[in-house]
Structure 1
Amino acid sequence: MPLTSHALPTEWVLRGTGPSLPPGLPDSIPAEVPGVVHMDLLAAGLLPDPFLDSNEIAQDWVGRQDWTYRTTFDWAGHDPRVDLVFEGLDTFATVTLNGHSLGETRNMNRIYRLDITPHLREGANRLEVAFRSAWAEGKDLAKQVAPRPANYPGPANLTRKMACNFGWDWGPTVVTAGIWKPVRLESWSVARLSEVRPTVSLAGGQGTVEIDVVVELLDPDVPLTVEAGVAGVTARAVVDPATGRARLVLLVADPQLWWPHGLGDQPLYGLSVRLTSSQVQLDQWTRRVGFRSIRLDTSPDVHGSAFALVVNEVPVWVRGANWIPDDIFLPRVSPERYRTRVAQAKAANINLLRVWGGGIYETDAFYDACDEAGILVWQDFLFACAAYPEEGELPAEIEAEARDNIVRLMPHASLAIWNGNNENIWGWFDWGWREPLGDLSWGLGYYLDLLPRLVAELDPARAYWAGSPYSGSMDIHPNDPDHGCTHVWDVWNEKGYEHYGDSVPRLVSEFGWQAPPTWATLSASVRGPLSPDSSGVLHHQKATNGNDKLLRGLDGHLPRPSSMDDWHFVTQLNQARAIALAVEHWRSHRPRCMGAIVWQLNDCWPVTSWSAIDSRGQRKPLWYALRRIFAPHLLTIQPRGDGLAAVAINDAPMFWRVPVHLRRLSFDGTVLAEHRHWRLCVDRFTAEELPIPPEIATPGDSARELIVATMGDCTATHYFAEDVHLALPPPDFSVTLHRHQAGCLVEIEARTLLKDLCFFADRLDPEAEADEMLITLLPGERRTIDVRSDRQFDLIALTGPPVLRCANDLFGLETRRPISES
């Protein structure tokens, strides 16, 4: 008989046990699977929303109780083998069927398959999954090993549970438990496919798919055959009955190549593997694969050693963002939400997402979306900001977890690199770990031995790197900018963002600047007074001294705000400017620097953080800045020697050859100096510098002048001083409103220089968004902003603070804005 999947009920009941259960909590609470306990309590009206105000504190009791899920299902089969398959259990669970213990689980990152054949009954069967509190389990584990350093409270480094469940500097402490992924029954006979590993490679225009298959056998005397097919090519192999293994090779002539978006298309081919006996199908496995080569170039050079991803032999400048879990309640992230978030990343010209090691191995829907969108994936193994023991039961759990996820994720064309850990090697070097650790293990054996061995065995075509940051050698500091990948956090924590320009790392895998979420998201999560230092706003700021750093980061750049509206705008504007300065600097030094992965793309709850997209999926000004600075063509003005240069960066697969127009202007639009370069030719995947003549690079009045450079559709501006030292004019502009079915067009004509014009549509409608942000207009220029909303807006409200803002009005200047509607 073929393997058959049977769905279990999605409606379960939940019961809590523990010393601090609230009085009156029902003994039987309706529960949904997949889900977690918090979601069921919220649905039953038994828990205040942890995202609102300081309710995070009020839910702390949930993670400190034990919880049991229970359901009943009917069974009428007489199959030789029936397995109960849990795709994900969070985390410490005992599974029983009809009173018989099936086993215990201790890892939320693994798939568990339990043979229930001996315990099945005809008719009704009672299934229970009892979860023990991760806090309680962590306390017991802590007694078994010597203490290890960790940057955050909680037992994350002793358990295989999502580390950020125990809190992070952008996330709440919400310790979940539950059946967080689907569960099913599988009935089968004779044999089934237990592991399929396709290694996809390219050589000489020919695609090769080498497939390693592992079969679980009930009867080793039955002859078995594995058949595979892709792109019209098929192959067949006989399963070795002694090992249950088979190997197939498929050769595809001239396949269409899969590329990161912007470099080509993303064709995906259906790959199928069938297990048969006497031509009867027993099991089938299907996935989509893409033909491409990916390697990591770490070759030595005059600067140190390279760190560059090379796709189909093209060095790719990584325009990346770090990805964290998109919701603290993981089952709420649907495939549609993954696709939306990945589409937002692609629209911001991001070509790589790094799945960070304090979260999870994402569900298949995330990687499917990246395959389709042409977004490369940097995948961390799940170790972050702590020392991890290498004795006891942990190594076996880590190996089983790594095997599970390497095999599950390796078919994805988007998966580019495996990374051993987040900041742990750096922690050993610089965070005072050595003295308290002494001779204790701290995880290095995982990063330098176990994990690279498993990747080499199971996914040999992909690169492995031991850590982020890491230099490639324990003899070189892990955060050495001349080697490997680098984290740049001293700027946010200690300095002004102008210091991003102090070095040229090989690839920056973390750097960032904070800002609050959109106004609609912030005001929906804080019911009390909205002020930077109000209790509700501060509760949604998890970084140590985060708001102080926000203000300190304004110094020398923008004025400190005097109102909540100004605080919200100026901190969001400063975040966008900080990241833009960093990326433009690093991109201008291609190929020495080959990537920047901003911290972070997304949020898991409403919070002041480093994200470009907040927890409601709303885009902050940083998102619009990323779209510009990560565009395949970028023009930027950079210091070079004693002067300035216009630097044109071309990440596109065609040469870029257009005239360059350089002007020094006064703020009233008067042209003070001008230069036309007849044509600048920038080859594909290169950067070219054009020195700016002294008459343009040298201001007459640094407070009232700027440089504007244009090259085709790209424009770059350069001011000779920071805003606090500029004589920005009072904002003077006219606005015309054109209504349309999906919202309105807001046409703005500048009568003075308008610096970094922003339209905050969510101040009028929480679901509204504008298609443009951070626009600089010279006198006489006009721009139309498309605002999508179902609401009809009042014209007056549309055309001034807090909706329409620019840097000029941060200085208390009077706004003049004639308005009309057509």
Structure 2
Amino acid sequence: MMMQIIPLSPWKAVGTLPYQADFSKHMQEGVLLPNLTPWFDAEVPGSIYRDLMRAGLIEDPYFDKNSLSCEWVAGRWWIYRTTFRVTKEQTTRPLVLHFGGIDYSAQIYVNGVALGHHEGMYIPFEAEISKIVKPDEENILVCVLEHAPLADAQPGYTSKTRYLKARFNYKWDFAARLIDLGLYEPVTLTSYDNARILSHFARPVLTNEGWKLLCEAEVEAFCDHTASLSVSLSVKTKNGEVPMQEQVSALLTKGIHTMSLTLSLGENEPLLWWPNGYGEQVLHDMTMTISSESGVEDAVSHSVGFRTLSYEHADGREDALRYLVVVNGKRIYLKGTNMVPLDCMHCVDEEKIRERLLAAKEANINYLRIWGGGHLESETYYRICDEYGLMILQEFTMSSSGCDDVPSRNPEFLALLHEAAVYTAKQRRNHVCLTFFDGGNELTDWHYMDTEDHEGHPATFEDPTLAMLKGVLETLCPDVQMLPSSASGPNALLKVGDTGNNHDVHGPWGYMGPYDHYRYYDNSDSIVHGEFGCGGISSLAQIKRIFKPEDQHLCTAFKNAAWSHHSGGWDNYAFRERVMFGELYDIPFEEYIKVNQFVQAESLRYSLESNRRRQWKNVGEMTWQFNEPWPNVQCSNVLEYYGGKKLAYYFLREAYDRVLVSLSYEKLFFTAGESFTAGVHIINDGADAPYTITCTVKTEDDRVLCTERFCGEAKEDVSTCCGQINVQLPDDLTGGFSVIVESQCGDYTGKKEYLLLIADKKLPVTMSETELLSMSMHKFHPRHLDEENRADWQVVSRYVDRMRALYHAE
């Protein structure tokens, strides 16, 4: 008899104080008095906060400052309860109870009998319960979810980490303190016969004889018997689908065994899987089955992607690690972004996961760094990345936190981390999107832990915690390269001018002003720019959803508690827009949003394009950050929590297009009468193709200052400088001017507009000491506050209107 899934009744939950529950008959009968809450409906998988919201026991924590009044939730115990029935026959067979994900620690009971204690996210809990259940009667399953552990927020001490739990929930610079709890993966009860598949690996390998699928199954035999492992594969070829099958048998004794077989495709050449933007994401259906004389005992099915994966040095950089990804023999530029968790409350909604990842795909992104202060993402997440061609760098759940950033050596934590690494590797290695692992975010070398510049020295595999992870992954995921951390050095932070030491670097996280920003990026020599970004305000639509009417106006985190609560570390008006355009408190709020979003978009566009103009010396870049896990009023994301897209989203999409025509210019602010010079560059991901580029420089009143036309052949994967624009700006020019770039390369056509500004306004700005400190932290350095000329915000507003009309008309 094949395995059977036994249904569980809908879950209920109730809140108690720690240790208050009576684990006797009252637990079985559902009587717990006195209680913190009544019993209420609970979703599994899910988050206790969503359940409490639906029950009317807490207000929406994402509105105003409501999350502050929800912080009690993490300090309580939450008792989940459900029931099930089994037949007498099922009690004679192995009954396996499986909790896929528990956040964070719990005690599990069936019919009042303790099954065990669980600790740690990313590690399942299992128990065999056939001797405990009662046939043809109601059986009671209870999970007592304990209070969340006390762990470091940001800032904090990474070296003191004791718990295997996502750090960002404790407060980060893009999220509130909302310490999640819940059963965030499915809970299943399965009746097996003679054996089951614990884990499996279907590994495509290209040999001289053609493609082979190396298959391995970790099988648990519940009794001595002869079992067969079979693999069926529906191979998609250019001539249609070809069904293939292979089988092997073995005598199994009770216990755990590894069974292996090789399925050779022979002359059947599978259609290949490509990263987004480089080809199709062809996936082939595979089923792995364990069976015996009594029939099928267990089976797993998923898609297989055929592709070769290798790593090379960046051009001329044999001194560095092999950061350059090669798929199917083609070098792939990592058009990346950093993904933080999709929600502060566990996101288990496939529709929402798909929506967020589709937004990344449509932005021409092909590479996601899953940030180490968040989650080891779900099977659903990975499956969709397979479908969308989104390569993944999966970090383990360790992160810098400010006070020190050294990987923990706590023995209890290391035991949990090792168990999670083994489980994660076995689960995720079947996904074709998996491209890198690393030990965590911005981990640093313990030799520098007590030094002032401790954040500047990335950890290496000399660190025993990272060496342990490397050993696990090299054994279980032999095709996937592991890095010690991101950044991986030698510099942790990008230091322009420190030539040769900026291999895999982070920073800066802001716009450095209308002069310095351009010089900085034009002189970078990073190989991988793993994190950099710029804050930007959210749309008015999102702001209206999170603020009361009285707070829906321009303000700062220094002056308004609601803004402070939803700003994280990304408040920028005081030292950025005000310095560039003068005081803006009196303009309509919607106009200010345009100005702020322009600065973020301009900052990211120039950073992205300057890195890509160095393509193959620079092999990849990841913006910080793509999404946000709760709705901020301002943050460094480009996709808002409620789905809105900032202007920077569209500029990022253009920078990652398969053909990039890009301008290099020395600054954003100009004066009337000076000369404007810009380099014109083209990067073509596709086959060699002729190009024509027309650049028109014109004023706001449509005076054409010059038109330049460039023609040539865009070589595949080569960054080419096509020439320069040179124009003398009129002495009477005010406001600003634009460069309209129209391009054609093979079958590609594009049009974009760069806005440059005339800084001719004498507007005084006075800074407080706090604002000057904030400016310094964000690397925004105006030359002379009292003397510097400022630009006209209205020019920016009209430009943003044109851009919005262009993008929304698509």
**Structure 1 position 52, deviation (Å):** 1.0
Deviations 1:308-337 (A, max 9, x none): 221112111111111111111114x41111
Distance 1:98 1:23 in 2: 21
Q: Deviations over 1:710-743 (max 9, x none)?
A: 3223345566x6453499xxxxxxxxxxxxxxxx
Q: 1:166 aligns with which of 159, 166, 170?
A: 170
The one-letter code sitting in structure 2 at the alignment partner of 1:297 is E
The residue number in structure 1 matching 2:116 is: 103
**For 1:59-458, what aligned pairs fall within 5 Å after superposition?**
59-76=70-87, 77-122=90-135, 123-135=137-149, 151-152=155-156, 157-203=161-207, 206-219=210-223, 221-230=224-233, 231=235, 232-239=243-250, 241=252, 244-252=257-265, 253-278=268-293, 280-298=295-313, 301=316, 304-305=319-320, 307-331=323-347, 333-385=348-400, 386-425=405-444, 429=448, 432=451, 445=463, 448-458=466-476
Alignment of 1:504-653 (within 5 A): 504-527=525-548, 528-531=550-553, 532-533=555-556, 534-543=560-569, 546-547=570-571, 549-554=572-577, 557-563=580-586, 564-607=589-632, 608-639=634-665, 644-651=678-685, 653=686
**Residue in 2 aligned with 1:6?**
6
Deviations 1:679-708 (A, max 9, x none): 221112121102216xx2554547565544
TM-score relative to the length of structure 1? 0.80
Aligned to 2:479: 461
Paired with 2:313 and 2:419, the residues of 1 have a C-alpha distance of 29
Residue 521 of structure 1 aligns with an amino acid whose one-letter code is Q
Aligned equivalents of 2:393 and 2:138: distance in 1? 46
Q: What percent identity do the matched residue pairs reach?
A: 21
Distance 1:205-1:520 versus aligned 2 partners, 3 A rule: farther
Alignment-derived partner of residue 803 in structure 1: none
What CA distance in whole angstroms lies between the structure 2 residues aligned with 1:254 and 1:203?
A: 12
Instruction: Pick one of 686, 694, 715 that aligns with 1:661.
Output: 694
Give the SS at the match of 1:537: helix
Is the Cα–Cα contact under 8 Å of residues 635 and 715 in structure 1 kept in the other structure?
A: no
Question: What residue ranges of structure 2 are gaps of 5+ in the alignment?
Answer: 22-32, 236-242, 668-675, 763-793
**TM-aligned CA distance change 1:561 to 1:753, over 3 Å:** closer
Q: What is residue 735 of structure 1 aligned with on the other side?
A: none
* Contact preservation (8 Å) 1:3, 1:186: yes
1:708 to 1:442, Cα distance in 2 relative to 1, 3 A = closer
Which deviations, in whole Å up to 9, do the C-alpha atoms of 1:595-654 show, x marking residues without a partner? 211111111111121111111111111111112121111111215999642101112x22
Residue 376 of structure 1 and its aligned partner are, at CA, apart by: 1.5
What is the CA-CA distance between 1:11 and the residue it aligns to? 2.5
CA offsets, 1:179-236, max 9 Å, x none?
12110101112211111012223345832221121111111x3111111121222222
Deviation at 1:171, TM superposition (A): 0.6
Q: Secondary structure at the match of 2:444?
A: helix
Give the structure-2-normalised TM-score.
0.82
Hey, what's the Cα distance between the residues in 2 that align with 1:188 and 1:177? 31
- The answer on whether the counterparts of 1:92 and 1:106 sit within 8 Å (CA) in structure 2 is yes
Aligned counterparts of 2:450 and 2:49: Cα–Cα separation in 1:
35
Deviations 1:560-588 (A, max 9, x none): 42243343222111111110010111111
Comparing 72-81 and 103-112, the one that deviates more: 72-81
Which of 25, 31, 47 is the equivalent residue of 2:42? 31
1:33 Cα offset (Å): 1.9
Please say if residues 103 and 181 of structure 2, whose CA atoms lie closer than 8 Å, have aligned partners that are also in contact. Answer: yes
CA–CA distance in structure 2, aligned partners of residues 120 and 471 of structure 1: 55
Question: Is 1:758 equivalent to 2:800 in the alignment?
Answer: yes
**In 1, Cα distance between equivalents of 2:752 and 2:808:** 20
Q: Distance in 2 between matches of 1:460 and 1:153?
A: 32
Alignment of 1:699-738 (within 5 A): 699-701=729-731, 706-712=738-744, 713-715=749-751, 722-725=757-760
Displacement after TM superposition at 1:387 (Å): 3.4
Q: Is the 8 A contact 1:298 1:484 kept in 2?
A: no
- Give me the whole-angstrom Cα distance separating, in 1, the residues matched to 2:500 and 2:6: 53
Q: Secondary structure at the match of 1:171?
A: coil
Contact 1:423 1:469 (C-alpha < 8 Å) held by counterparts: yes
Q: Is the 8 A contact 2:310 2:325 kept in 1?
A: yes
Displacement, 1:558? 4.3
* Residues 16-25 or 189-198, more deviating: 16-25
Alpha-carbon distance in 1 for matches of 2:53, 2:114: 30
Partner-residue secondary structure (3-state), 1:40: helix
| 8 Å Cα contact 2:176/2:565 also seen in 1 | no
Name the CA distance, whole Å, in 2 between partners of 1:227 and 1:24.
Answer: 52
Amino acid at match of 2:577: L
Q: Distance in 1 between matches of 2:181 and 2:98?
A: 18
Task: Note if contact 1:79-1:189 (Cα within 8 Å) is conserved in structure 2.
Answer: no
Matched residues in 1 for 2:666 and 2:38: separation? 71
- Larger CA deviation: 709-718 vs 341-350: 709-718
CA contact (8 A) 2:154 2:172 kept: no
Distance 1:753 1:47 in 2: 45
Distance 2:411 2:439 in 1: 20
Equivalent of residue 471 in structure 1, options 476, 489, 492: 489
Q: How many residues align?
A: 719
Letter in 1 for 2:16: G
User: How far is 1:675 from its partner?
Assistant: 3.6
Whole-angstrom distance in 2 between the partners of 1:60 and 1:507: 39
The one-letter code of the counterpart of 2:17 is T
2:507 — aligned with what? 488
Report the CA distance between 1:402 and its aligned residue: 0.9
How far is 1:539 from its partner?
1.2
Q: Using the alignment, how far apart are the partners of 2:660 and 2:270 within structure 1?
A: 32
Residues 15, 35 of structure 2: 8 Å contact kept: no
Conserved 8 A contact 1:429-1:477: no
Distance 1:135 1:676, change over 3 A: closer
SS at match of 2:161: helix
Q: Give the residue type in structure 1 aligned to 2:226.
A: P
The question of whether the paired residues in 1 share the 8 Å contact of 2:16 and 2:35 is answered with no
Amino acid at match of 2:541: A
Q: Which runs of 5+ in 1 are unaligned?
A: 139-147, 728-751, 760-771, 776-782, 788-822
**C-alpha separation between the residues in 2 aligned to 1:208 and 1:338?**
32
In 2, the alpha carbon distance for the partners of 1:244 and 1:20 equals: 43
Q: CA RMSD in A?
A: 3.5
Task: Report deviation, 1:296.
Answer: 2.6
The one-letter code of the counterpart of 1:410 is R
